[in-house]
Amino acid sequence: MLILQKMKNDQYGQMIFDEQDLVNQIMQGNRQLDGYCVDRSVDLATAADILEHMPTLIAHQDQDITVEEFDRRCQKNWHMPQSYQDLDIAELVLSLCDTDGELQRCGQELLMYQERDLFNLLRYLKYLVDVMKDNQVIWGVGRGSSVASYVLYKLGVHRIDSLHYDLDPAEFLR
């Protein structure tokens, strides 16, 4: 459980942890602190001496970039195994198709995903679905405009057959 004392967010919406926040996390048994963004109150050298495993903490720095540039930089960092990062997602999706109609619809949607540079998102969703299946996590049937995507249906993200219901993929990929 994440209990924070003085939670702060920067102008990009990132959670910034202070020393007390980190101590609370450790006291609650959370040892998975890798990737936490910390403010200047955290002395990383002292933390390395105290903790038997030094998490990869990220020192927060005030940045003078636009939100769009920040978002673009963050989209380059997908935290998933290399095998998923190297996955030919288009080939996988097309291999899941059984009919010419399915191939045509998936091909159309994959072009839309590619135009928007969203193949890493599809790879990550495949990874997420596999992790949930492996850990017997139950997730919903589908929600919102994402059910209009037949590609997401084939990947198992949702259970609504948008081809059967003739849902327009443009509803999701606007």
Q: Which of 67-81, 86-100, 105-119 has the lowest mean pLDDT?
A: 67-81
Is the CA virtual torsion 127, 128, 129, 130 positive or negative?
positive
Report field, pTM of the whole predicted structure over 0.95 = no
Mean pLDDT of 81-93: 95
Instruction: State both tokens at 14.
Output: 């990132």
The tens digit of pLDDT for each residue in 98-127 reads: 999 999 999 999 999 999 989 999 999 999
DSSP string, 55-66: ---EE-------
Question: Mean pLDDT of all residues in the chain?
Answer: 83
Residue 172: per-residue pLDDT:
87
